[in-house]
Chains A and B, each alone.
Chain A
Amino acid sequence: MSYLTKASSLILRDSGWSPQRKVDPSYWIDSLKKTDFPIFEALINCLEKFGGLTITTLPFQERPFFIEKQQAVILQRADPILELSPNKSKAIELSQAEQWKSLHYLKNKHLEIAPIGVFRYAYPPPFDLFILSNGNIFGGGRYWTVKEGDERLGLFYLGNDVEDAINNTIEEFLAFW
């Protein structure tokens, strides 16, 4: 398990998270079961810790804060928002379980996949957040144009686990000066 950085902890606490937080994930698990997504341990652990949270950097944009005595700010290039509620994902809304489960990447590595929420950026469209059975977090929901006329559903890597993915997302907008 990765540790949250100081900046991530600060922003997460502002979103209502605490290190002791543990919520009942059964509502989301029931929804996932109805859509043929598998249920696995990493998914349950993730939802228990972070399920239901909306994590945004907006309150911190351009408001200097300090990390290890260094002044840091969140740049106002965009307003990344992570919503850790599986039911908000397009994968559930559009019943895409079979499409996602059939990705070559997952079959090759014998991994399972389930949606855990969405990532909204400054400009649309938002993309889905997925967790794999090894705990890795990926974004998805884009069709990648491999060549003209050949568009494929694909994943892009966000982090080794959910803490790492949150750190990486926040780090891209964190500046020192």
Chain B
Amino acid sequence: MIAFSEKSQIILRDIGWFPERKVETFPWINNLQQAGYDVFDAARKILEHLGGLPLKEPSAYKGFISLSDNTRIHFATHPNFDFIADNTPESDSERAVYWKENSFIKANGLQICPIGSIRGITTLFVVSDGRIFIGQFYVPKSYHGDKEASLTFLGHTIVEAVDKLVERCVGYL
């Protein structure tokens, strides 16, 4: 289904992924819908392929790894993402409305759905055109009021997003 980079595949395989993976999405989709999210096609496809993959402590990251082009890399830290969509930070039923009402989402006529988290601290979202964003509630210092539901762009596709998260952890020796 998805052509992740060689580096991403090393990380993903370590948390239980394989290229043909396809899992039952019912529990996550049901919980997301009950929380108030619309689970659109792009979200459904990601959950089918990656849903349920957990955070995992580094294991295969000791020493350096030689890639197929003989490049030597070292994972200095683990990207620490998961794809447990119904247990992401600050995206429960009380918060769903803030994400759906985010001005960027509304103005572009998009839908938004959680797909996982990074380090259990920020939420990974997919929007209905397939783009991936990192979401977090943020209290601007210059404002006096509520937290803002802010979205930072991560990738045009899930592949680009995962590859980018993995690349941030790679050292070229």
Contact = CB atoms under 8 A, between A and B. Distances in A.
Interface in B119-167: 133, 138, 140-143, 148-153, 167
Interface string A37-74: 00000000000000000000000001100000111010
Given A62-B140, A108-B70, 7 more contacts: A76-B141, A142-B76, A176-B133, A176-B151, A176-B153, A177-B138, A177-B150
A104 B104 contact: no
A146 B102 contact: no
B62 A147 contact: yes
22 contacts: A69-B107, A70-B107, A70-B108, A76-B140, A103-B172, A104-B173, A105-B72, A105-B173, A109-B71, A144-B171, A146-B63, A146-B64, A152-B74, A152-B173, A153-B173, A154-B172, A156-B172, A171-B152, A173-B152, A174-B152, A177-B103, A177-B104
Interface residues of A, number: 32
Contacts of B69: 108-109
Q: How large is the interface on B (under 10, 10 to 19, 20 to 34, 35 or more residues)?
A: 20 to 34
Contact of B172 (A73, A75, A76, A138): A138
A155 interface: yes
Interface in A130-177: 138, 142, 144-147, 152-157, 171-177
A70 to B, nearest CB: 5
Interface of A: 62-63, 69-71, 73, 75-76, 103-105, 108-109, 138, 142, 144-147, 152-157, 171-177
B42 interface: no
Interface string B89-124: 000000000000011100110000000000000000
Given A62-B141, A62-B142, A176 B102 contact: yes
A173 B143 CA distance: 18
B170 interface: yes
Given A146-B64, A147-B62, A70 B172 contact: no
A177 B151 contact: yes
A42 to B, nearest CB: 17
SS class, residues of chain A in contact with chain B: strand
Nearest to A63: B142
A155 B172 CA distance: 5
Contacts of B64: 146, 152
B171 A156 contact: yes
Contacts of B72: 104-105, 108
Contact of B103 (A152, A154, A155, A176): A176
In the A-B complex, list the 7 residue pairs whose CB atoms are closest, starting with the nearest.
A154-B171, A176-B104, A175-B150, A105-B172, A144-B171, A155-B172, A62-B142
Contacts of A174: 152-153
